[in-house]
Amino acid sequence: MEFETLLTPGANVLVNVARAVLLMSVGWVVAQLLSRLSRRIKDNVISPHHKILLAKAIFWIVLVLFLVTALHQLGFKLGVLLGTAGVLTVALGFAAQTSASNLISGLFVLSEESFKIGDIISVGPTTGEVLSIDLLSVKLRTYDNIYVRIPNETIIKSEVKTITKFPIRRFDLVVGIAYRTNIEHARQVLLDVARDNPLCLDEPEPLIILQGFNASSIDIMFAIWSTRENFLALRNSMQEEVKTAFDRAGIEIPFPHMTFYTGADCAPLPIKLVGDTEQAQQQDKPVERNAGFSEE
């Protein structure tokens, strides 16, 4: 005689519920255990990014298997459940279009591998370190230590810059020199600054491009390379060193200025000052002042 036949129907339900709860508890523990075990796979076998994905997949698959078994234990029929799940999926699909879109975008983000956990990326105005790549969103920590969640749909639709993808980076410094400056001299001073800065890579060689004749200056683009770890330090030190070297070499970095020209004969501009006018009116005598670059 089976154990269940000895119990009342109410007690039977209780036993089944207890079994289902036990199954779910065991399932939770087994899923956690297998998931953690998968994280121990060495990095040379599978990338850290894929390891996290594998761990999540194992956890959910194992848990769903135990959930199905638990539901079966409670007397639910699997076929009916799957049919209901199909209808529910369609209903949820309409109700949660955004989440579904993020979910599908997430699969593309994961498979594309444009960036990995630990990379620094820029998405629109946000730049930060990738903390996790999940099915619905990517989580970033910005430089000012703010936690940012970016939906995967946004990632797929936007331009994403992976700043730490390549080991070296170029810093472009645009500097203006006065028109009277000898360009070759300025070029040599810039190359000397690059040579003396230990953070600046010798190769790829520094690049100097004359960008054009601006309103107040001749603009030069000075492009130098560093490792991505030294990029910020190079950007800071290089600007300071260029300014110091230009000052030492007597090269002027001009600020925008404007010259007033009053005509072919360059006649002086008559200026009437209110205070003086009143005084002149009192004395019945006009006052004229010459215009110049500055009023002294």
Partner 1 sequence: MSVVFTKTLPDAEVPLAIGESMRLEFGQLLLDISHNPFEWILRYSYRHKQADEHEAEHGPETVLRYVFDKSEQAVAITAMLADRAVVSRPLSPISLMADASTQVFISTPLYLAVNTGSHRMIELPTARLSDTWFGDKSAGELCYSDTTRARLDPSAVENLYFKAVTPVTIKNQSHRQLLLDRINVPVPMLQLFRMPAADKSFVTTSITVTLSETVEETRIQLGSAQEHRDAELISPARKPQKKQFLYRAIDLFLS
Q: Which is nearer to partner 1, 217 or 230 (CB)?
A: 230
> DSSP class of residue 269?
P
Q: Which of 59, 115, 225, 246 binds partner 1 (CB under 8 A)?
A: 225
In angstroms, give the least distance from the CB of 166 to partner 1. 5
Tokens matching residue 105: 């975008």
- Binding window for partner 1 (CB under 8 A); candidates: 59-67, 111-119, 201-209, 247-255: 201-209
**Assigned token pair, 273:** 């000052």
Q: Is 201 in the site for partner 1 (CB under 8 A)?
A: yes
Of 136, 139, 128, the C-alpha closest to 152 is 136
Q: Do the strands 218-227 and 168-177 form a parallel or antiparallel pair, or are they unpaired? A: antiparallel
What is the end-to-end Cα distance of the chain in Å, rounded? 116
Site string for partner 1, 179-198 (x = CB under 8 A): ----------------xx-x
DSSP 47: -
* Interatomic CA distance for residues 123 and 150, integer angstroms: 9
Draw the binding track, 235-274, toward partner 1 (x: CB under 8 A; -: no contact).
----------------------------------------
Please state, in angstroms and rounded to a whole number, the distance separating the CA atoms of residues 274 and 296. 17
Say whether residue 212 binds partner 1 (CB under 8 A).
no
Report the residue from 184, 203, 265, 296 that binds partner 1 according to the rule CB under 8 A.
203
Q: Give the residues lining the site for partner 1 (CB under 8 A).
A: 165-168, 195-196, 198-204, 225-227, 230
